[in-house]
């Protein structure tokens, strides 16, 4: 692909996100700065900037760009925030988050995905991202609390233990609903009065499974 073609592709990518309602300039800038082609499989690089989910290793997917941008925008990130991502996948969402937050901890149950994502992020000098092979339903105590939590796989219900990882006024974003079918992207906001829930958008995500995968 020529440099002109690449430039046009990235411009169309930004126009697509704007047309679909993404208005946060910091989010748009982060989406522009992360080379999505580095996070897709070799056979789908020509489709990297299409607004579609694409297959990656271990039967997982990289979410479509609009969903990545929308979830990032709805997380209401600030530069000082510490963020937890559950479901590293290719590492693309973590890379976007890393441009907007002070620290990103991303956990993945598939060791293959975690190892590949870690290498990609290191290659792109995203030094404020830490990738761990961890069960998202059983987080180590030493991970502590987070200002923001993003779950990138479908949960039938968000565990109280996960909501308990939020700091005061923290936000958790997750696709909630049946693991096969359509879920509701839901934002949970902690306050002195408890945790408020807000439904945002219908989505389809791969299921969030318990445990660390044995072979992959």
What amino acid positions are annotated as catalytic residues?
Answer: 63
Q: What are the tokens at 71?
A: 């979830």
**What are the CB-based long-range contacts (under 8 Å, 24+) for 181-188?**
183/154, 185/70, 185/71, 185/74, 186/158, 187/74, 188/158, 188/163
Q: What is the CA radius of gyration of the chain?
A: 16
| Helix 3-19 with 25-33: angle, nearest 10 deg | 150
Whether residue 37 contacts residue 19, with contact meaning beta carbons closer than 8 Å, is answered with: no
Cα–Cα distance measured from residue 202 to residue 48, given in angstroms and rounded to the nearest whole number: 23
HSE-up of residue 211 (Cα within 13 Å, Cβ side)? 4
Cα–Cα distance measured from residue 55 to residue 63, given in angstroms and rounded to the nearest whole number: 9
């Amino acid at each position: 692909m020529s440099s002109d073609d690449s430039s046009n592709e990235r411009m169309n990518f930004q126009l697509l996100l704007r047309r679909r309602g993404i208005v946060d300039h910091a989010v748009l800038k982060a989406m522009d700065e992360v080379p999505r082609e580095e996070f897709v499989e070799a056979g789908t690089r020509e489709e990297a900037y299409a607004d579609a989910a694409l297959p990656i290793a271990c039967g997982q997917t990289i979410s479509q760009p609009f969903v990545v941008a929308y979830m990032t925008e709805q997380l209401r990130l600030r530069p000082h925030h510490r963020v937890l991502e559950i479901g590293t996948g290719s590492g693309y969402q973590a890379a976007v988050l890393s441009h907007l937050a002070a620290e990103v901890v991303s956990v993945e149950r598939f060791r293959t995905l975690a190892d590949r994502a870690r290498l990609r992020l290191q290659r792109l000098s995203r030094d404020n991202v830490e990738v761990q092979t961890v069960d998202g339903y059983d987080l180590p105590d030493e991970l502590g609390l987070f200002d923001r939590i993003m779950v990138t796989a479908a949960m039938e219900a968000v565990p109280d233990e996960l909501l308990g990882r939020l700091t005061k006024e923290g936000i958790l974003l997750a696709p909630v609903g049946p693991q096969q079918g359509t879920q509701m992207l839901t934002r949970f906001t902690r306050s002195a009065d408890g945790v408020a829930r807000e439904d945002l958008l219908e989505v389809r995500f791969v299921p969030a499974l318990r445990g660390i995968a044995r072979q992959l």
